[in-house]
Amino acid sequence: MKGPQEFPLRQYSATTIVRYFRSRPWEVVWRALQILWWMGGFVLAMQFDHWLGQEEANKHVRATHLRQTLTRLGPTFIKVGQALSTRPDLIRKDFLNELTKLQDQLPPFPNQIARAIIEQELGQTPEEIYSTFSVDPVAAASLGQVYKARLFSGEEVAVKVQRPNLLPTICRDLFLMRWAAGWLGWFLPLNLGHDLTLIVDEFGIKLFEEIDYLNEGRNAERFATNFRDDPHVKVPEIYWRYSTQRVLTLEWINGFKLTDTERIKQAGLNSDELIEIGVTSGLRQLLEFGFFHADPHPGNLFAMPDGRMAYIDFGMMDQLSQETKETLVDSLVHLINKDYELLAADFVGLGFLTPDSHLASIIPALDKVLGDALGAKVSEFNFKTVTDQFSELMYDYPFRVPAKFALIIRSLVTQEGLALSLNPDFKILDIAYPYVSKRLLMGESPSLRRRLLEVLFKDGQFQWARLENMIAIARSDRSFDLLPTAGLGLRYLLSEEGDYLRREILLALTEDNRLHTEEVQRLWALVKDDISPTRLLGVAWGALADYSIDRAAAVVPVVADLRSAFQAEPR
């Protein structure tokens, strides 16, 4: 087989891979026999369980058998197992739980080969590039291994070296998987089988991105730019002079894995604050930036001695379009409102359901799974429990999990698991709810302001309890300052865009032929401790000062409408 530097492919192309290996059948026969031997043993064991009526008794044994089989088959299949661990539309629940334990680890390859790859890629020996270079790797994973080194300029660095012959090995496995998917799909349920080849292609695209270390470096810099104003998040610097597609030199991170609770405690770090940093930064990635770290496992997140959280390993990232981000917020709003009809439509927009799906039959199932979860207190909500319940719908309804959302689900479940290792009483929505409420209340964009209206109005009625609840939840976030948000709200109300909301609020204040003074008093009691008269006057003056004489005319109808409303109040 050609060496990696000669292999004619650097970006995933199914047609190129098929064309290359079809003309070289001898290169795939032995690998196919290996896969058949190990996977055949697993399938045969499953069949024996079926014949002997021991499927239920041995289901956990078989799940472990599957995990061990994938590990034996090497890097590509380890990545397959990790990808399948977030695909309830493809894998049954007991297998899912076991595959989440799949370790991204293999024995290290020989140091002399790693050194030869560095010299081949960078044109110099490690001694010529680094003043010190660890004798053995400090970590070994399925795609490469990491050495600790120091540059001659004094900076401590981590040097990632890719496994030898990795690219042709992965392509050969992808060729065989794609070939198997072509005929295996006919034996699977309709909602699964026809997508198998597409799923292999989605997997191949992400895997190719992950093994390109230059792409990883670009991802890291983009991630760092997004969080440049966040003092709680650390991203290692990339040293481009000493980086190629197969070697990456980046800043060494001194810290503790988030699962190392003992060292975190000894360092005097606040575990709850680390959890808050992790969850909030994860939500910002999804709902603000649309560019997210899709593999936040314990080896990729570190607690630093100064209290910051460091992200490393940016090979597995993904991007959400603006439309997808907005649909995500829509689905969240519809979930809060328990509007399962619109939520089902959101699932179509997000790709979980096809446009021709019969939504009327799906809505009761969503109500059953999600209604119970939302009916519980926020403190009792568990994300993994909900995803487990949701996975049970996959075989009864035509759901599939788009690749992007498989990564998102994996990210959220992993982060919740890490948080629970730091604090067993942690509930993800204790942090997520305040963040989302704050985002909606601030209404930084027209789309967010529209979604706030959907939350606050239902069937034409203003939902006082929802507004009260959102403010209470948002205030539980220590960093949330209500006054700037009030200023944004006042500016919006005085604007042309805010005309509709201004009139709807006036109607809400006077509906049922009375002023809703009790509701207003409850809201004031909720916020008065955060709003001093001086600060409140400053915010109001600032909002009015933003308006020219032309805009100041917008205040007139507000005053007139309020006057009319008070005059209409029965005495």
Catalytic residues: 295
| DSSP string for 399-436 | ----HHHHHHHHHHHHHHHHHHHH-TT--THHHHHHHH
Helix (H), strand (E) at residue 130: strand 130-133
DSSP 110: P
Strand ranges for 211-321 from DSSP E: 233-234, 247-251, 256-257, 291-293, 301-303, 309-311, 317-319
For residues 100 and 93, the answer to whether their CB atoms sit within 8 Å is no
Q: What is the distance between the alpha carbons of residues 208 and 212, in angstroms, rounded to a whole number?
A: 7
For residues 294 and 411, the answer to whether their CB atoms sit within 8 Å is yes
Name the residue among 310, 275, 266 with its Cα closest to residue 423. Answer: 275
Q: Which two tokens stand for residue 424?
A: 């067993």
For residues 76 and 62, the answer to whether their CB atoms sit within 8 Å is no
Q: What is the distance between the alpha carbons of residues 337 and 187, in angstroms, rounded to a whole number?
A: 40
For residues 470 and 437, the answer to whether their CB atoms sit within 8 Å is yes
User: Tokens 């009139």 — which residue?
Assistant: 503
Q: What is the distance between the alpha carbons of residues 37 and 28, in angstroms, rounded to a whole number?
A: 14
Which residues sit opposite 462 in a β-bridge? 457
